[in-house]
Amino acid sequence: MIADVVLGLQHGDEAKGKITHQLCSKGNYTHVIRFNGGCNAGHTIYHEGKKFVTHHIPAGVFYGIKSIIGPGCVIDPDQFFEEIEELERAGIPAETLVSVAKNAHVITDWHVEEDSKDSKIGTTKRGNGPAYRDKYDRKGLRAEDMPCFEDYIVDIYEELYSQPNVEILFEGAQGFGLDIDHGDYPYVTSSHCTTAAALLNGVPPQAIRKVWGVAKIYETYVGAKRFQPKGDIFNALQEIGEEFGATTGRKRQCNWMNLNNLMKAVRMNGVTDLVFNKMDVLREIGEWKFYNNNNLVDFDGEEQIKRFLTSHVSLSSLVTNVYFSGNKDRI
């Protein structure tokens, strides 16, 4: 068994879906597994000239790969079947490719109603938090308890350990800065957004081959806390970067990248391959900056910032490959 992991290193919206989609097009994966989160996620994927936004369905479906919503996820039945139908209409055979782990937990109407009362944290109000709360309170509903999922249910252990040469791509949701334990609590999500969380879906640590960490060259955040400083430059980042949440449509607050927080995420997740997205946005703005040790560092241009980040990250972590991307559909 071999497994690669794709995860976000900031506050979500780093283009994890794009990276997962590209890896599926080039790899020999037998399975793609979403390992955390629920319909609060919104992965934007450009496939054969069409734009798709998935909330539950893993990116493997676009390349005929068996795609599983793992036991670390919570699932909204209405959203799930809406996505299945949308993909089928677009010619993607989701019905035959998608499975749901029998022990994934279900988001109910009550969970959504309860989540709608939130005002302090700024959640997506999709019911994820209350569903996870019921899971850990041992009173939640599992997918295997719901007749509507009968044709999609899979036992993760039987699926992954009953066949040879299994090669898995784990697709994460949200980002390390929102992790329930390591994020800026209480402004966090309800699940674990780490490499370790992928392992909780039934894979031993020895199986991990690569960890793809995904970041933006600047940072964005959607939620209740104040994140964006005053200044026209941040409004420009928002406009040029088209920074609107794929799930809620809310404006994403923008700020310069924090290198210290990034390195924390890189080290704690054992990232081997690091992707910086949205290079085209800073290229258009013409400013190249990030925070390092609470100081705002200004670079002369794109090549200088690339050299610094490549050297710094490679010397300070397990990272062996650093990529810089300015494209919506590929690295």
Query: CA 216 to CA 186: how far, in whole Å?
Result: 23
Q: Is residue 1 very low, low, confident or very high in pLDDT (cuts 50, 70, 90)?
A: very high
Query: CA 217 to CA 227: how far, in whole Å?
Result: 16
Q: Which domains does the chain have, with CATH numbers?
A: 2-324 (3.40.440.10)
Query: CA 40 to CA 112: how far, in whole Å?
Result: 11
3-state secondary structure of 232: helix
- Over residues 82-100, the pLDDT tens digits come to 999 999 999 999 999 999 9
Residues with active-site annotation: 13, 43
For 228, half-sphere exposure in the C-beta direction (CA atoms, 13 angstrom radius) is 19
- Over residues 2-48, the pLDDT tens digits come to 999 999 999 999 999 999 999 999 889 999 999 999 888 888 899 98
- Over residues 232-242, the pLDDT tens digits come to 999 999 999 99
* Element housing 218 (H / E): strand 218-221
Q: Is the dihedral of CA 301, 303, 308, 314 positive or negative?
A: positive
Q: Letter for the amino acid at 300?
A: D
What is the predicted pLDDT for the residue at 224?
82
- What are residue 106's DSSP bridge partners? 75
What is the predicted pLDDT for the residue at 118?
65
- Over residues 131-189, the pLDDT tens digits come to 999 999 999 999 999 999 999 999 999 999 999 999 999 999 999 999 999 999 999 99
Query: CA 291 to CA 268: how far, in whole Å?
Result: 20
Beta strand 295-299 pairing with 321-324? unpaired
Query: CA 4 to CA 212: how far, in whole Å?
Result: 8
- Over residues 303-326, the pLDDT tens digits come to 999 999 999 999 889 999 999 999
Work out the average pLDDT over 109-122.
82
Is 75 a residue whose pLDDT tops 70? yes
* Residue listed under structure tokens 């040029």: 240
DSSP H helix total and E strand total for the chain: 11, 17
What is the predicted pLDDT for the residue at 88?
97
CA 250 to chain centre: 17
| Percent of residues, the chain, with pLDDT higher than 70 | 98
Contacts of 24 (CB under 8 A, 6+ apart): 32, 59, 60, 62, 63, 65, 169
Nearest CA-CA partner of 295 in 259, 253, 255: 259
Q: Which DSSP state fits 169?
A: E
Q: Which pTM value belongs to this model?
A: 0.94
Backbone torsions φ then ψ of 3, nearest 5 degrees: -140, 135
What is the predicted pLDDT for the residue at 248?
65
